[in-house]
Amino acid sequence: MVAQERYPRAMNPREAARARARLAAAVRQALGQLGYEEVETPCLVPAPGQEPHIAPFETRFAPEGGGKGTPLWLHTSPEYAMKRLLARGFPRIFQLARVFRNGEVSPHHNPEFTMLELYRAGADYTVVMQDLEGCIAACARAFAASGPARGVTGAPVDLTAPFERLTMAEAFRAAAGVDLGGCGGEVDRLRRAAETAGLPPGGPEDTFDDLFFRIFLAKVEPGLGAGRPVYLTDWPAPMAALARLRADDPRWAERFELYAGGLELANGFSELTDAREQRRRFLAEEAERRRLGRPVLPLDERFLAELPRMPAAGGVALGLDRLLLLLTGARDLRELLLFPAADFLPG
């Protein structure tokens, strides 16, 4: 007996497939006009990344006929491989990658999803923001006949470029009354600033990241990108393991996230090219994984070896399924996936 679907579909599956194909075609056309080349990198990798709050899927290569196997992971992002291509001379590249992240299924999360990842040599995060918003605006025009883009509440979202820009310091000051810049990345100072603003100061075991995100999720994120997209830029230096710090003010990293219609859509940087500093940050993430009781994963030594040859560059990863939610007015990713994980996972 076929299991009954546990949710209603607002979109015919064939319509959903056509919408996905239309979006991919619009992305390819827009980025091709900007001089980007499409690439493809492996899904199976020997080092999946160190991000403490992302859980990769592990598998194992078993040689035919016997012999010693080796652990592999489904990549959570094609980032390391694509940066190695920059180091080998590719100037502008993008990929529509299938990526895999374990543990979460919700209206806006599926363990297998499609990510648009792009990198541009000789650019920083400001140039990448311009390229990305131009691409998204072109995608919106490709869907214009279907009506306006709509956020998770059903309210229209204007995807016309340019998008708004807001620094993290400005966002914390306006939404939470916290002087983030005055905290200098130190948890004790952030705790005092939270208390002064009348916010819960957290417990003694909290790290800077813990308290930062508690404030961010409660006070800052809910108001972002309601009617039009906004780039939240210049993140605290401790919160950007792969990003370059601002030369004029190293308290801040050249990192941005894009929010629109109640969704986080993208995360980008001016890329770090210092291999020694990158190793130090990877080891700090490794220590954080231990603190959280998560498996410690191998460092990508091939990536670190090629990093010194990588030119200055900017890059971004965008959740293509979430962008499709906005463009179609769907409320749940399960409307857009032909075989959503919720159909076969327990719970």
Q: What is the pLDDT of residue 10?
A: 67
- Mean pLDDT calculated for residue range 297-310: 97
Residue 189 domain flag: no
pTM of the model: 0.93
Extract the tokens encoding 24. 């991919």
Contact of 304 with 159, CB cutoff 8 Å: no
Q: What is the pLDDT of residue 4?
A: 43
Q: Among residues of the chain, what percentage have pLDDT more than 70?
A: 97
When the pLDDT of each residue in the chain is averaged and rounded to a whole number, the result is 93
Name every residue whose Cβ is closer than 8 Å to that of residue 133 and which is 6 or more positions away in sequence. Answer: 161, 162, 163, 229
How many structural domains does the chain have? 1
- Mean pLDDT calculated for residue range 150-154: 90
| Structural domain containing residue 112 | 13-163+228-343
Q: What is the pLDDT of residue 104?
A: 84
Q: Is 70 exceeded by the pLDDT of residue 347?
A: no
Name the pLDDT band for 1 (thresholds 50, 70, 90): very low
Name the pLDDT band for 98 (thresholds 50, 70, 90): very high
- Mean pLDDT calculated for residue range 177-184: 93
- Mean pLDDT calculated for residue range 304-321: 98
Residue 118 domain flag: yes
In whole angstroms, give the CA distance from residue 123 to residue 137.
20
More confident residue, 41 or 346: 41
Query: Which of 299, 294, 258 is closest to 102 using CA atoms?
Result: 294
Residue whose pair of structure tokens reads 């075609």 in the numeric block: 25
pLDDT tens-digit readout, 255-269: 999 999 999 999 999
Q: What is the pLDDT of residue 11?
A: 79
* CATH at 87: 3.30.930.10
Residue 1 domain flag: no
Q: What is the pLDDT of residue 146?
A: 85
Q: Is 70 exceeded by the pLDDT of residue 231?
A: yes
Q: What is the pLDDT of residue 198?
A: 92
Q: Is 60 exceeded by the pLDDT of residue 194?
A: yes
Contact of 285 with 52, CB cutoff 8 Å: yes
Residue 218 domain flag: no
- Mean pLDDT calculated for residue range 321-329: 96
Residue 335 domain flag: yes
